[in-house]
Amino acid sequence: MEPSNASSMELVQHLWAEECDGKNFVFSPFSINAALGLLASGSNGLTLQQLLEFLKSENLDHLNSVYSLIIDSLDEKRIGTERGGPKLSFISGVWVDISHTLKPSFKEIASSIYKAEAISVNFKTKAKEILKAVNKWVEDHTNGLIRNLLPGRSITSQTKFVLANALYFKGSWEQGKTLSWAICHIGSTRHLKTFALEMLLFNLEASRVLKELGLVLPFDPAEAELTEMVSDGTERLYVSEVIHKCFVEVDEEGTEAAAATAVGKLQIASRPFRRRRLPVINFVADHPFMFIIRDNYSGVLLFMGHVLNPLLNSDDDHE
């Protein structure tokens, strides 16, 4: 899927250059782009145009057709999960405050294309409970790999909507316990000896990254045009944060990966991360390397990452 992968490569190039200096990292460009695609379906005017430009799509019909094909391809019947094939799932969710009513057109696109369930909630009186519910929803749909996507107090009484998605993959090696990766070398003269590679876990508060790439109007309280999402209310909706979290673990049995993205009017404060330690496995590498998990049927890039220094985790501290 050329538009999806083109925007993915632009995003990953920026992350490598600006955000991941000397760090190992992993993220799901598909999860981030799908969240923005759903946001685009609720947008209009210059905001919609900017989202379409970022996602490399000609118009909203083109964007929706691309993501309809991609998401439909992430189907366990197609990939043969019941016959021993990999497990692959994608789901979205829409939480909207009771003071607003979703437009039928947006609700239909969210449901039919992005596999989203729409839930009406009371952010004003139940913010804490809704935050727990969204985090539990993400954890359930990522086999427990993505926990606490939304940090404490990120949902407040001022929140009006949250769009989220969850992506999960688990596959076994074709040759039993033989580890064989298709690896792209990044180009370094450093020699890396045998090392123990722990899980890769990466948190990304993506709002600043997206703004640096020119996507600014959805975040502007005075200019955002998210007018195709709800049919009532005079308050202008806008996005304050895009939060992304990704996890990849490789062992002698196979690969397990998960990602989640949330978009909305959220309150994010700087917070220390606590490192989650998992069992380690040994690899031999003589170059830093890049890895990709791709759906061969659609060609979409589900997960991407690089290991610059295998002696480091993705971050020094992680929850």
pTM, entire model? 0.85
Q: What residues are paired with 291 via a beta bridge?
A: 305
Is residue 152 predicted with pLDDT exceeding 90? no
Q: What is the pLDDT of residues 205-216, one digit of tens each?
A: 889 899 999 999
Q: Examine residue 299 and state whether it is found in any structural domain, yes or no.
A: no
Q: What is the pLDDT of residues 93-135, one digit of tens each?
A: 999 999 999 999 999 999 999 999 999 999 999 999 999 999 9
Q: Are 270 and 41 in contact (CB under 8 A)?
A: no
pLDDT band at 309 (very low <50, low <70, confident <90, very high): low
Q: Quote the CA–CA distance of 149 and 294 in Å, as a whole number.
A: 23
Mean pLDDT over residues 143-169, rounded? 95
Is residue 174 predicted with pLDDT exceeding 50? yes
Mean pLDDT over residues 22-39, rounded? 91
Which of 156, 318, 192 minimizes the C-alpha distance to 249?
318
Boundaries of domain holding 93: 2-177+201-279
Q: Examine residue 76 and state whether it is found in any structural domain, yes or no.
A: yes
Q: Examine residue 147 and state whether it is found in any structural domain, yes or no.
A: yes
Q: Examine residue 186 and state whether it is found in any structural domain, yes or no.
A: no
Mean pLDDT over residues 59-83, rounded? 83
Q: Quote the CA–CA distance of 136 and 60 in Å, as a whole number.
A: 31
Chain length of the chain? 319
* Residue at token pair 């061969």: 296
Q: Examine residue 316 and state whether it is found in any structural domain, yes or no.
A: no
Q: Examine residue 137 and state whether it is found in any structural domain, yes or no.
A: yes
Q: Examine residue 318 and state whether it is found in any structural domain, yes or no.
A: no
Q: Examine residue 194 and state whether it is found in any structural domain, yes or no.
A: no
pLDDT band at 35 (very low <50, low <70, confident <90, very high): very high
Q: Quote the CA–CA distance of 86 and 91 in Å, as a whole number.
A: 17
* Residue at token pair 């005075």: 222
Tokens of 24: 């190992």
Using DSSP, state whether 11 is helix, strand or coil.
helix
Number of domain units in the chain: 1
Give the CATH number, domain containing residue 92: 3.30.497.10
Tokens of 142: 């990522």
Q: Which residues have a Cβ under 8 Å from the Cβ of 174 and sit 6 or more positions away?
A: none
Q: Quote the CA–CA distance of 56 and 268 in Å, as a whole number.
A: 29
pLDDT band at 201 (very low <50, low <70, confident <90, very high): confident
